[in-house]
């Protein structure tokens, strides 16, 4: 397993864990701490994604890939707003925000599974790392 692969897995787990944990906080300071730690995982995930785009995608497609990633940010905010509206219309406010934080781990896992199934060549597997080191080279698409 490569160092980038290990960091990718760690940052995803860190991000998911602290997002989930924020749904169980009881005070402002606990929520501030868990969301701050969640932000560290998100930053690590974003950095790994940037390296992935730079190293695994051919130069001719790299601009489109960066645009897709940036567009995904807006789509994520839209989905979050819809989930927020649905949850707060069904559940009491004291419970709805907790359900949103805790339930986001489910959506993250679903998205990762769909992405890995659609783009298996972008997985950081041991086999891929042996075939094509991450320092230079192009991808298969």
Query: For the segment 50-64, what is each residue's pLDDT rounded down to a tens digit?
Result: 777 777 788 888 888
Contact by Cβ (8 Å): 15, 28: no
Q: How many CB atoms lie within 10 A of CB 98?
A: 16
Q: Is residue 106 in a domain?
A: yes
48 and 4 in contact (C-beta within 8 Å)?
yes
On whether residue 137 sits in a domain, the answer given is no
The most distant pair of C-alpha atoms in the chain lies apart, rounded to whole Å, by 53
Q: Is residue 136 one of the residues assigned to a domain?
A: no
The total of structural domains in the chain comes to 1
Answer for the pair 31, 25: CB distance below 8 angstroms, yes or no.
yes
pLDDT above 70 (res 37)? yes
Domain contains 60? yes
Task: Tell me whether residue 95 is in a domain.
Answer: yes
Give the tens place of pLDDT for each residue, 101-136: 777 777 666 666 666 666 666 554 434 444 444 444
Model pLDDT, residue 30: 93
pLDDT: is 81 or 11 the higher one? Answer: 81
Asked whether residue 64 is domain-assigned, the answer is yes
* Whole-number percent of the chain with pLDDT over 70: 71
Instruction: Say if CB 3 and CB 126 are below 8 A apart.
Output: no
Burial of 19 (0-12, 13-18, 19+ CB in 10 A): buried
For residue 105, the enclosing domain spans 3-131
Token pair in block for residue 113: 């599974």
Q: Is residue 140 assigned to a domain? A: no
Position 138 in a domain: no
């Amino acid at each position: 397993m490569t160092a980038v692969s290990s960091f990718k897995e760690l940052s995803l787990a860190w991000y998911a864990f602290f997002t989930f944990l924020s749904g169980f906080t009881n005070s402002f300071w606990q929520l501030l701490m868990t969301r701050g730690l969640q932000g560290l995982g998100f930053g690590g995930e974003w950095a790994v994604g940037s390296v992935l785009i730079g190293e695994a995608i051919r130069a001719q497609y790299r601009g489109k890939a960066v645009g897709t990633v940036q567009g995904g940010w807006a789509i994520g905010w839209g989905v979050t707003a819809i989930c927020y509206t649905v949850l707060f219309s069904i559940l009491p406010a004291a419970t709805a925000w907790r359900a949103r934080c805790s339930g986001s781990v489910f959506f993250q896992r679903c998205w990762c599974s769909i992405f890995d199934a659609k783009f298996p060549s972008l997985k950081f597997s041991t086999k891929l790392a042996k075939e094509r080191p991450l320092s230079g080279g192009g991808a298969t698409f």
